[in-house]
Amino acid sequence: MSLPTALLARLRGPGLVGHLLALVAGALSTLSFAPYNLWPLGLVSIALLYQGLKQVSSKQAAVRGGAWGLGLFASGVSWIYISIHLHGNASPLLAGFLTGGLELGLSLFIALWAWVWVRFFRSNSPWLGSLGFAAVWVAQEVFRSWFLTGFPWLYHGYAHTHTWLNGYAPLGGVWLLGGISVFMACLLSEWRLVRQPLQCGLALLAVGALWLGGYGLQQIAWTTTKGQPLSVNLVQANIEQSRKWDPDYITHTLSLYRDLTYAQPSTDLVVWPETAVPVLQSQGQYFVDGIAANLAERGSTLITGIPVDEMDPNGLRIYNGIMVGGSEPQSEYLKQKLVPFGEYVPLEELLRGLIDFFNLPMSSFSRGPADQQPLLAAGYRLAPLICYEAVYPDFAAKQAAQSDLLITISNDSWFGSSIGPLQHLQMAQMRAIEAQRWMIRATNNGVTALIDQHGEIRTRIPQFQQEVLLGEVQPMTGLTPYLRWRSVPLGLVVVSMLLMAGLCRRRQNAR
């Protein structure tokens, strides 16, 4: 027996070796995302998981799926350790424990999904088995986007941000890309089809048609240009996270943004990143209005991140906000999707004060209302996405459907020189593809970039450099199918596929 055949036998059989191979397969998937972009490894990873679940019991499947998920999340979101240890002042041991706990928790999503597929939808038919696997996979990713506020990171479709398959993104978003890719990976791993020339030919034809279909869809312009391009000025001040909220450094920070802005030629828009103004709006409004007034004389409009404080009957509320400076009436947006522990503390009464990580600066933000309008600037509507919000596909689509441009401001300083900020950038590129709209992305220390409607980065500033990006963006009008209906059609298809797979399995068991 050859080594590959022996490993496949171990993978498909029960036991520790199969679980360890699944763990390695999960880690391979991380290499398919940015910054590595080795997308074929994502197909290999899924194929190995699929084969590893073909012959095991449902209990074994849960363990194996959990092992695969642990491999994915331990390798793909290990950057969380940096924010907990360096910026949360947790000891290496405690930071490792908290990071590992999160990774284990996330792997339970994959464990549950693997158990469900084996228990209810696994089929002896290569076609039905692959379709059912892909359908449950999409359901798992959608579920992970909202359960307990969601953690929509490392979706399989992001591996195809730059392949022909991204043509499907305007139809069904990153979830549709992921489902198609998973289906192809499973079907190509069905070695039994090699002994059936007709079935093998049909499988290769189906895979080829899906790839060519993606290429064909890339040629469709779902949106059209609106008006003239806008010139933009994005300021990347590269403020160290340890100094961002230091009261003794605030004056220097504000002066730096002012000086970097004034040193550039006039542009239609000037954009500062998330919480660029590190004081409450009630204290910093005079500064923003002053800069905005000076820029208005040059024909420029200022957009900046700033904490917004408001009083209501329940007391003081603070929001992570983005505002158009000097506009009347004030055009602002308050962040809705908050980062757990970074912007709010779950179970605050129990956790607040236990360790420094639960007392991070500005970790008591309130959630903004759900019925907010786009920002209005330079005569156009901008869909605002603050940091973490750009990773929620349906949420971003809802915002984009009302807009001519996308704008996201972020502060990825929390994650240092890890792969986290580059994964975040890739997700922003996917949002631009889904909406077929240009995206303005302004960050504190990178990656600041202008992304076109095809997800291509037109210009960018390297990470960890203090620099200003000058460029142009083109407003767009029109709705892609995904912006119009979001994930509703895909959800109906997934439910139909699961019903079909479940019915076929029941008939097979009845024979």
| Residue keyed to tokens 């160290």 | 240
Amino acid at 118: V
Burial class (CB in 10 A: 0-12, 13-18, 19+), 207: middle
**Torsions phi, psi of 122, nearest 5?**
-65, 135
- Specify whether 335 is catalytic: yes
- Identified catalytic residue from 274, 332, 389, 434: 274
Reduced to 3 states, what is the DSSP secondary structure of residue 169? helix
Reduced to 3 states, what is the DSSP secondary structure of residue 374? coil
- Cα separation values, 427 from 158, 315, 456, Å: 7, 36, 12
- Specify whether 274 is catalytic: yes
**Which residue from 344, 438, 308, 337 is spatially nearest to 383, judged by alpha carbons?**
438
Q: What share of the chain is helix, strand, coil (3-state, %, to 5)?
A: 55, 15, 30
Q: Where are the beta strands (DSSP E) in 280-390?
A: 301-312, 315-324, 331-334, 375-377, 380-386
Q: Give yes or no for a contact between 95 and 84, defined as CB atoms under 8 angstroms apart.
A: yes
Q: What tokens were used for 413?
A: 């300083």
- Identified catalytic residue from 335, 337, 389, 434: 335
- Specify whether 387 is catalytic: yes
- Identified catalytic residue from 190, 387, 434, 504: 387
Q: Where are the beta strands (DSSP E) in 242-352?
A: 269-271, 301-312, 315-324, 331-334
**Which residue from 134, 215, 179, 229 is spatially nearest to 474, judged by alpha carbons?**
229
Please list the active-site residues.
274, 335, 387
